[in-house]
Amino acid sequence: MDEIHKNILQRNRSNLVKDLDPSKLYDGLLEKGIFTQDMIDEIQSAGTRRNQARQLVQDLETRGSRAFPLFLQCLQETGQESLAELLQNGAPAVTLQPATPTQVVRPVIQPLPFTPGGGKPGPGRGYKMDASPCGYCLIINNMEFEPHSMLKNRKGSNIDCEKLERRFKTLNFVVEVRTNLRQKQIKHELLTLSKKDHSQYDCCVVIMLSHGTEVNHNRFPGAVYGVDGQYVPVQHITNYLNGQHCPSLQGKPKLFFIQACGGDERDMGFEVSPDEVEPSSGGMDDQTDAIPMSSSSDSLSMSDEPDARPTLPTPSDILVSYSTFPGYVSWRETQSGSWYVQTLDCILEENAATVDLVTMLMMVNNEVSQNSAKGLYKQMPGSFNFLRKLLYFRTQT
């Protein structure tokens, strides 16, 4: 940061600490690339609003020449114009220079082959999935929640966990299960996974079984709760393994399966003709994994400066499969597990040897959509797909 802008921040530090609301700024600071997600997490860990404001201003001085004018923009965009005006008094006019555009050589796009009746694609058209083992699969299963969290225990989640542990072992993954983790422990496990050497593997899988909620987002909606009642946004979960933060997984598929609610709305469905749907209903013990929408806003971190080297987009090779449409509850039977996991396990068992993952997830969507909880409520799974190729699991013969 330019010395004159550092001096302005230092002169106005007391006013910034007194009046600044950092929670409103985090999303914009991430979007504009002023801070990374790790830096935001460190600021938030400072505790009180005043302490977070003090840490934010201190860290801001260490950023690049664009940090000060972009910080002013964030203040204006979040209704903190009075602080922006305070900082602009006596400051020279600043014009943001756009990043120098680089010549982009666009590849020739070739459509993926369509093979009637299934069949795996030829060399180069699908992800390499023949490493043995194929990769790591981390399952985080939160069943018993601390009393102060005000969250109910998730009966039946152990059934989901056991099914998925067996399934991904048969798909040639090294499966690690972690149970009843707090928010910081979830982050620690994800960070540990990101620091592993994946260079000999072809894929990585993360499965989250917990309560969930809806949060504001840029790419991947929703958040997953720790047993302490503190949540981790899904887009932060994916961020640990993206090409920027886990280099040994660059260009390799990262798969996330989220069995948690995306919100607290209950879908009552709509009428269709009798031949469009097969009757199916859940039991009276159906429960949801819903928590009302949070006001927190989070985003994927961005690098401090544009990267002119040939790269893939940050979220490339990521697929996030959700048990329910964002904003809606996800149903779980206490005796047999969740609709989504039951169906996913069956579809993988019957089709993984011959059918690609995205097609199998559409099959899951179709089957789950035909269930009814208490004879009334519906559920619609879905996914955010940033895979670049077809993905076929390697099944054990």
- Indicate which residues carry an active-site annotation: 211, 261
For residue 375, give both structure tokens: 């004879």
- Asked if 53 contacts 61 with a C-beta cutoff of 8 angstroms, the reply is no
For residue 233, give both structure tokens: 């946004």
CA dihedral 122, 123, 128, 132 (to 10 degrees): 90
- Asked if 100 contacts 377 with a C-beta cutoff of 8 angstroms, the reply is no
The distance from CA 238 to its chain's CA centroid, rounded to whole angstroms, is 4
3-state secondary structure (DSSP) of residue 389:
coil
Residue of 327, 220, 300, 263 lying closest to 27 (CA atoms): 300
Cis peptide before 133 (omega within 30 of 0): yes
Q: Which residue is associated with the tokens 């600043």? A: 94
- E strand or H helix at 367, and its extent? helix 357-369
Q: Which residue is associated with the tokens 């989504």? A: 340
Residue of 167, 322, 337, 333 lying closest to 260 (CA atoms): 322
For residue 321, give both structure tokens: 């499969």
DSSP state of 43: H
- Asked if 304 contacts 70 with a C-beta cutoff of 8 angstroms, the reply is no
User: Positive or negative CA dihedral for 39, 44, 46, 50?
Assistant: positive
SS3 content of the chain, % helix, strand, coil (to 5): 35, 15, 50
Distances (CA, A) of 364 to 3, 309, 321, 334: 57, 39, 10, 20
- Asked if 253 contacts 332 with a C-beta cutoff of 8 angstroms, the reply is no
Residue of 188, 187, 189 lying closest to 177 (CA atoms): 189
DSSP state of 254: E
For 366, half-sphere exposure in the C-beta direction (CA atoms, 13 angstrom radius) is 10
Residue of 11, 23, 15, 5 lying closest to 79 (CA atoms): 23
